[in-house]
Structure 1
Amino acid sequence: MTTPIPTGTVADAVRGHWADRFIPAGFRPYARLARLERPIGWWLLLWPCWWSAALAAVAAHQPYPNPWHLLLFLIGAVVMRGAGCTYNDIVDRDIDEKVARTRSRPIPSGQVSVARARLFMVGLALVGFLVLIQFNGFAILLGIASLGVVAVYPFMKRVTHWPQFTLGLAFSWGALMGWAGAFGRLDPPALLLYAGAILWTIGYDTIYAHQDKEDDAVVGVRSTALLFGPRTRPMLALFYGAAVAALAAAVLSAGGGVLSMAGLGLMAAHLAWQVRRIDVDDPDVCLMLFRSNRDAGWLFFLGLCADAALHHL
């Protein structure tokens, strides 16, 4: 039996975060389940949504992305990331007990029971559903369809070295949603954006996975970090390069112009910096580079927004 540890002492949690300072002690384990102290997760889930909404504005010659949709996507990204993390922790609780970085998480440490974690997950999912039904019927059905990919993701690392691909399918779904929310259908720009976001996800999650590669090898968990090993830098360049190419094709097929491409160019430069800076044997560098993808997302998004404004003039 796992020995409970004091609330708030989770090995891989961010220290001194507002979740520690302001959330009552009894609720902190649930904040940990939702990873509230690590916003990078919902940022990475949000970016394909916001990119898609901005790309739709470019295509429709609107001056900016639909603000209501941007807000809905923000709320949805936060709550559904929390629900997804809770689901992963429920499924992975036996593995988490064997990994130093994760054995102090709320479920394996005994801070939250599996039954309570399930209730918490359902509550977050209900909030996400309330967000989803604010969109048109096509987007609602499309959002529901994403649950199939989300459901199988935690099991992929047990059967393939490519769980990062499945994560990409799930985390990039918003690239379809923003376009569907604007037009009530899917068109080539959205599909190309989705492909680019998947490739980007494989890249950044490979960086993240290098933090756990020794423990993963011991417990039998697979990842692209273990698959690529010392070839990570050229493989990262390959996936990031392909991501930029697919995103460029999405912009051009939507009628985007120089400002969209400039934003993408800045994002490409940022990704190239990650490739040069990567040290697969330094977990701190890997975590820093992984988190920096929030900034990469901003560069592309702001370029799309500037292009939409220019198109409207």
Structure 2
Amino acid sequence: MRESTEQALRAASLDPVWVQRVIVDAFAEDLGPDFLDVTSVATIPDAQNDTADLVARADGVVAGLAVAAAVFDLVGEVTGSDRTVEVSLVAHDGQRVARGDVLATVTGPTRLLLTAERTALNLLCRMSGVATHTRAWADALAGTKAMVLDTRKTTPGLRALEKYAVRAGGGTNKRMGLHDVAMIKDNHKVAAGGVGAAYRRVREAFPDVPVQVEVDTIAEAVEAVEAGAGFLLLDNMTPAQLREVVAAVGDRAELEATGGLTLPVAAEYGATGVDFISVGALTHSSPILDIALDLREE
């Protein structure tokens, strides 16, 4: 992988070694045990070179250009070729793009360009779709204090990429997993005997780990704050209920509205005074942004 690509990945808080592993696994899925593109090998002379453009087929927000560049960086290595592909990025992550915009240009052996095409597009289209959906939420919440949060409802193996795409789209990441933030949900409260008991047990066991508490009622919200919680998830509450919690809790805790929210009601919920709105659909239901690779015709 080129040094410039590694630097771009690190700037996005993505580990280049991990990204390379994801890409190699994706190539193995596409090319089989011999890492072979039978169509390109059969139809394209080894010496043939071409230039191709990555082109947006729809309006949206792009994310994952460095990841796509890494795919083209690695395609020669994984297929046993000593030849390389040159990548020139035209757009940048987080940029709004329109149908027909060129996002990047790749030049090199035609076989390698076409072998890498689908793997690069699968990742780039997926990440750009998440960024595009996130931007719609961020726009809907404009003018309120609320920020849109992602969740752990991600594609297995791709969480870091999808959470990066959320950031590129103007959203905010919540916890990465079960290890970095303690989140007391309904089942934990039942098992522990109540929200206060659950909070105290987490704080005793892991005093340095941030704790978030899911609450279903205004009374539970007050109980959690009085127990020491500084972050509350307000689950499936109406805007009126959210305003009551905001009034009752004040600035003693950060507040997140969660539970089946949709874009048409985003502004109404954001206007309640909560700090965050979490949306699992950012990562579990975002459609891709359609992007294609077009060989230039001489």
- Which TM-score tier does this pair reach, normalised by the shorter chain? under 0.3
> Highest Rg: 1 or 2?
2
Select the structure that is richer in strand: 2
More helix per residue? 1
Report the TM-score when normalising by structure 1: 0.22
TM-score by length of 2: 0.23
